Amino acid sequence: MCLLGIVAQTAPKYHSNHGAREIDHLDDFSYAHGEGIWFKRPKGKGRIADCGFLQDYRNVANTAFMKQFLVFVLTVLATLSPVRANLGDGDERIDDSYGNVVERHLLDDGTVSILYKKDRYLYFVIFANRRSILEGYSHVKGTDLSEKEIARFLKANAAGATWSPENKGTERRFIRSDGKAEATYANLDGRPTLTVRTK
């Protein structure tokens, strides 16, 4: 028998071979309604053993909670980890990563330039054979990129190599250790821009 609630003014007693004794922990006992007496449960069996439906209910509740929690975690991770694109990626991946298209132009040499806007950044990309060969990163408001932002964009385009500064004149320059790309940070049309291009 499963007891969901017990109200007693005095401590109930149970019967054993040694006579009636007071009960200290109700969880260790069950009540025999037909005989009107308490009896001690065998060791190893607790309330959940008597209340099987409670165990089932808790299992269902825990499963439902875990499913909701998993959905929440995946949503957060999706928000914090957007699709990334880098120099050399295809146009479809770039389109998925860089947001709304602001301008698109077919250039005389057959390449295509596209300006994207996403959040507080503008992304200027030139494609050749549908592959990114140049990318420019700047703030929508035209303010300077922070050193942390510059480092992050360079790291995204490292392709397993490393970047080193090579400053010449007033223009900040960076070269990639594999010799396959270079970067500059300068004003373009009055907007501080980090430009990364293949060599």
- In-domain check, residue 4: no
Per-residue pLDDT of the chain (199 residues; tens, 9 = 90+): 444 444 444 455 545 555 555 545 555 555 444 555 555 555 554 444 445 555 665 676 677 777 777 656 554 444 444 446 789 999 999 999 999 999 999 999 999 999 999 999 999 999 999 999 999 999 999 999 999 999 999 999 999 999 999 877 778 999 999 999 999 999 998 999 999 999 9
- In-domain check, residue 3: no
Report residue 161: phi and psi, to 5°: -100, -170
Prediction pTM value: 0.59
Q: Which strands, in side-by-side order, build the sheet including 121-128?
A: 100-106, 112-118, 121-128, 131-139, 191-198, 181-188, 172-176, 163-165
Pair of tokens at residue 66: 């875990």
Q: Which domain holds residue 181?
A: 91-198
Judgement on whether residues 47 and 136 belong to the same structural domain of the protein: no
Judgement on whether residues 73 and 158 belong to the same structural domain of the protein: no
Collect all residues with Cβ–Cβ distance below 8 Å to 120 and sequence separation of at least 6: 139, 140, 141
- In-domain check, residue 1: no
Confidence at residue 79, expressed as pLDDT on a 0 to 100 scale = 41
Place of tokens 């499913």: 67
Pair of tokens at residue 65: 């909670």
Judgement on whether residues 155 and 119 belong to the same structural domain of the protein: yes
Q: In whole angstroms, what is the distance from residue 176 CA to residue 171 CA?
A: 17
Region for residue 190 given its phi and psi (left: phi exceeds 0; alpha: psi -120 to 50; beta: otherwise):
left
- In-domain check, residue 160: yes
Q: In whole angstroms, what is the distance from residue 150 CA to residue 166 CA?
A: 15
Residue 22: DSSP 8-state:
E
Q: In whole angstroms, what is the distance from residue 186 CA to residue 189 CA?
A: 10
Number of domain units in the chain: 2
Judgement on whether residues 61 and 95 belong to the same structural domain of the protein: no
Confidence at residue 85, expressed as pLDDT on a 0 to 100 scale = 74
Beta bridge partners of 190: none
Q: In whole angstroms, what is the distance from residue 93 CA to residue 177 CA?
A: 25
Interior angle at CA 197, CA 191 and CA 151, nearest 5: 65
Q: In whole angstroms, what is the distance from residue 93 CA to residue 118 CA?
A: 14
